[in-house]
Amino acid sequence: MKTATEELVEICKAAKAASRRMALLSTDVKNKALRNIAGDLAAKKDEVLSANQLDYKEGESSGMSAAMLDRLMLNPGRLEGIAADVLAVAALPDPVGEVFDMRTLPNGLLLGKKRVPLGVIGAIYESRPNVTIDISALCLKSGNAIVLRGGKEAIHSNTALARVVQEATKRAGMPEAAVQLIENTDRTLVNELLRMREYIDLVIPRGGAGLIKMVVENACMPVVSGGIGVCHMYVDKSADIDQSVAIAYNAKVQRPTVCNALDCVIIHKDIAERCLPKIAAEWSKAGVEIHCDERSLAILKKNPSLKLKPAVAEDWGKEFLALIAAVKVVDSLDEALEHIDRYGSGHSEAIVTEEYGAAMRFLNEVDAACVYVNASTRFTDGGQFGLGAEVGISTQKLHARGPMGLRELTTYKWLIFGNGQVRP
C-alpha cells in the first residue's frame, strides 16, 4: 500500500505532467471546461449540498462558531452565485499567448516575451468550500494545473466540488490531473506539500493570518501572500468633511469582514473637532465600536450615544474584521505617514484631502499595494479595478501587488528567433 507521502508525490507529479498539456490548450477548450463546471454545479447541486450538509452537521456537533458555520455553508443561492462567477471567468479574455516587448537586436536576433501559464499552482485554504471552485476556475482559465488542499472542516464539500470540476474539465478535453484535491486531511501533509518545489510553481494560501504565516515560513517554492489588510484613512486638515464622513462610513461599514475594510482613522488636529463627531455619529448608526486615543476620546465622549473605548496598544495595526475602528488624532501629515509606515500591512491606505501637495506626498510616500486619494479603500478588488476576477490581494512586492487577476497567474518566457547567431 502506498504511504500518504507517496500519494502526495503522485498527485504533484501528475499535476506537473498535466500542466505541460494545459499550457497548450486553446481558449475554446478552457472556456468549454468552465461552462461545463457551471452547468454541472446546477445539475449536481443535490450531491454537493448533501455533502455540504455532512460538513455542516459535523461542524455543529463539534461546536464550530456561527461565523465559521456560515463560511462553511452552501445553499442553492450560494451555489448559483458560484456558478455565475465561473461563467464570468469564462467571459474574460485569455491572458495566455500574449506576445510583448518584441524587438530586433542589432545582430538580427528577434526576441521578446510570450505570456505562458505558471505551471502548477497549489492552493491551501480553510473552511470556505467556494474557494475550491473559484480558484480552480481562475487557474484553469490561465492554463495552470492545480492541486487543492482545503480545510478538514469542509472535506466532504470540497471532495464533491472537486469531483464536479474533474468531470466537467475532462469532458472538455482537459487532462485528468488538471485539478486534483488532496483528500487526506492529515495536517503534516501540508508541510510536505510545501517542500515540493520540483512540482509546484506557486502556492497561494487563502485564509487567516495563521495559515498565511505558516505557509510563508515553510514553503520552499514561491508564495503569493496577502489578504491581511490593516487599512488606514488619514483625514487631512484640508479634507472635505462630507467626503470624509461618506468614505469613512463606506470603508468601515459596507462589508466589515473583508481585508479592504477600514481599520483606523487618523485625523489632523485642526479638523478633528469638526469632522470626527460626524464620522462617529454616522458610524454609530451601524453600531461601530470606536477605540479612541486620548485626544479623540476627549472629542467624542461628549456624545453619549457612541460606543467608545480607550484604545490599547494592540488596537494600532489591528485588522478588526468587525464593526470596530481605531481613531487617532495627529499633529501633522508626517505623523500620519509615520503611523501608517509603522502599523500598516501594505494593503490599502487612503488620504482625504483638498490639498494637492498633501495628496502627492501621500501617494509617493506610503508604501502599500493601493494608495488612495479621496476614495474608499473598499475598491481594492480585482472586479472593481477592472481585472474581471481575482485570486486574492497580494501585499508582498514580488510578481504582483494588490488584486491578482488572471494575468497574475501567468509568467512569460523569452522567445529568441535567430538565423545562426553566435555570441562574439
Q: How far is CA 382 from the centre of its chain?
A: 9
20 versus 309: smaller Cβ distance to a copy of itself: 20
Strand blocks (E) in 13-79 = none
d(Cα 60, Cα 52) in Å, to the nearest integer? 12
Q: For residues 56 and 199, which CB has a smaller minimum distance to a copy of itself in the complex?
A: 199
Maximum alpha-carbon separation in the chain: 82
Residue number with CB closer to a copy of itself (23 or 297): 23
Burial 369-382 (b: 16+ CB within 10 A, else e): bbbbebbbbbbbbb
Report in angstroms how near the CB of residue 390 gets to a copy of itself at its nearest.
13
Q: Least CB distance from residue 235 to a copy of itself, whole Å?
A: 13
Q: Which CB sits closer to a copy of itself, 70 or 338?
A: 338
Choice between 133 and 400, CB closer to a copy of itself: 400
Residues that bind a copy of itself (CB under 8 A): 20, 23-24, 103, 105, 109, 111, 114, 116, 118-119, 195, 197, 201-202, 216-217, 220, 222-224, 240, 242-243, 246-247, 249-251, 254, 341, 359, 363-365, 367-376, 378-380, 384-386, 396-399, 401-402, 411-423
Q: Which residues sit opposite 206 in a β-bridge?
A: 125
Instruction: Rank residues 140 and 160 by Cβ distance to a copy of itself and give the closer one.
Output: 140
Alpha-carbon gap, residue 252 to 113, rounded angstroms: 42
With contact defined as beta carbons under 8 Å apart, do 57 and 156 qualify? no
Alpha-carbon torsion (152, 149, 167, 96), positive or negative: positive
45 backbone dihedrals φ, ψ, rounded to 5°: -65, -30
Q: Which is nearer to a copy of itself, 17 or 69 (CB)?
A: 17
Tell me whether residue 55 or residue 263 sits nearer to a copy of itself (CB atom): 263
Burial class (CB in 10 A: 0-12, 13-18, 19+), 342: exposed
Sheet holding 262-268, edge to edge: 307-310, 289-292, 324-330, 262-268, 231-235, 348-352
SS (H, E, C) 245-301: HHHHHHHHHCCCCCCCCEEEEEEEHHHHHHHHHHHHHHHHHCCCEEEECHHHHHHHC
Distances (CA, A) of 296 to 235, 304, 325: 13, 14, 12
Q: How far is the CB of 53 from a copy of itself (least distance, A)?
A: 34
Cell numbers that stand for 254 in this block: 459596507
State the nearest-atom distance from the C-beta of 87 to a copy of itself, in Å. 21
Q: How far is the CB of 349 from a copy of itself (least distance, A)?
A: 10
Rounded Cα distance between 243 and 105, Å, is: 52
Q: Which is nearer to a copy of itself, 116 or 154 (CB)?
A: 116
